[in-house]
Amino acid sequence: MTVISIVKLSKRPGISNYIDEILAVDSAIFLLSVFLSYLSLRSAGLTKRLEAFADNTFIIGLALMVISGFALSFELF
């Protein structure tokens, strides 16, 4: 949420308009990862498969957050 506030304070047009949308999608990816992790704890048959999918989803969310952070920092400076 701090990054979204920094994007809104920046008056420069450009990639910062897309960064807040990317971070909104990123929060949905993290929510999906948490949901899948919860399901892997509660399910009996699909535990390993759901756990692996939750881990992969979390890594994708982290990568997307790092990429958008780098894009924001390069645009501001």
Cβ atoms of 6 and 75 closer than 8 Å = no
DSSP state of 1: -
How long, in residues, is the chain? 77
Per the confidence metrics, is the pTM higher than 0.85? Answer: no
> Using 50, 70 and 90 to split pLDDT, how confident is the model at 14?
low
> Using 50, 70 and 90 to split pLDDT, how confident is the model at 12?
low
